[in-house]
Amino acid sequence: MSKKQILITGAASGIGQGIAFFLAKNGHHIIVSDMNLEHAQKTVDEIIQQGGSAQAVKLNVTSSEDVNNLVAALNKPIDVLINNAGIQHVESLDSFPMDKWDFLIQVMLVGVARLTQAVLPNMKSQNFGRVINIGSLHALVASPYKSAYIAAKHGLLGFSKTIALEVAQNNITINTLCPAYVLTPLVEKQIAAQAKEHDMSEEMVINDIMLKPMPKKAFIEIDELAASCEFLISDFSKNITAQAIALDGGWTAQ
């Protein structure tokens, strides 16, 4: 596979960071973007120490100015966009702050549209592009107390399918990876929040809520997502587009 310039959002920690490490080891140049530039730079430093190629940028995906300035400043077009930035808030709708509800949608749905819009012109001009959205099992199913997150992820699927159809003739594919729970700092915070909402122990949240619907009873590993990204970047997947790809241990088969 030829080496690609890859922009990953929310790449200073968790899933985004893991994908950055994995793809950098395979020779791609990684643009590590995050709201926290210091943490993004630490990720870049580690990639470079391991012999990889990367740069850190501060990026607020809710800002059109930030997004457009980043794309304009790059000396080489983005070949692959991995929309990973995400946040979570667990609370019943009765008391869910609407400003927070709106912010989740801005980050995980509008922000994806904003970045995709910004990179598509160059992808079209070079007749190649890959957009990979890190969705969630909750793009396919629902569970209580996560209305904003689930609404954003369900919307992400509709957005991805629509744009995939619009750019299919330009050798651009757009797909969404939908993992069940991945043990990241974001999920660890969810465990504590759900324990509070359900009035149960954190161990019970893991066993009775998170892993119970999964026949394999195991968290998804970040490298599974990263390797899936590598496959979707390759020519072997050039006709896979507009798809929601579940990494769920059989959850949605039931």
Helix, strand or coil, per DSSP, at residue 51: coil
The answer to whether 181 is a known catalytic residue is no
Within a 10 A sphere around the Cβ of 97, how many other Cβ atoms? 11
Q: What is the full DSSP assignment across 93-112?
A: TTT--HHHHHHHHIIIIIHH
**Burial of 124 per CB tally in 10 Å (0-12, 13-18, 19+):** middle
| Residue 12, token pair as written in the block | 């200073």
Within a 10 A sphere around the Cβ of 237, how many other Cβ atoms? 16
Q: Which of 21, 101, 128, 149 is labelled catalytic?
A: 149
CA dihedral 217, 218, 220, 224 (to 10 degrees): -110
Helix, strand or coil, per DSSP, at residue 237: helix
Instruction: Tell me the pairing of strands 5-8 and 53-58.
Output: unpaired
CA distance 152 to 186: 16
CA distance 100 to 87: 10
| Residue 125, token pair as written in the block | 């001009």
H-state helical runs in 50-146: 64-73, 98-105, 111-125
Residues with a known catalytic role: 149
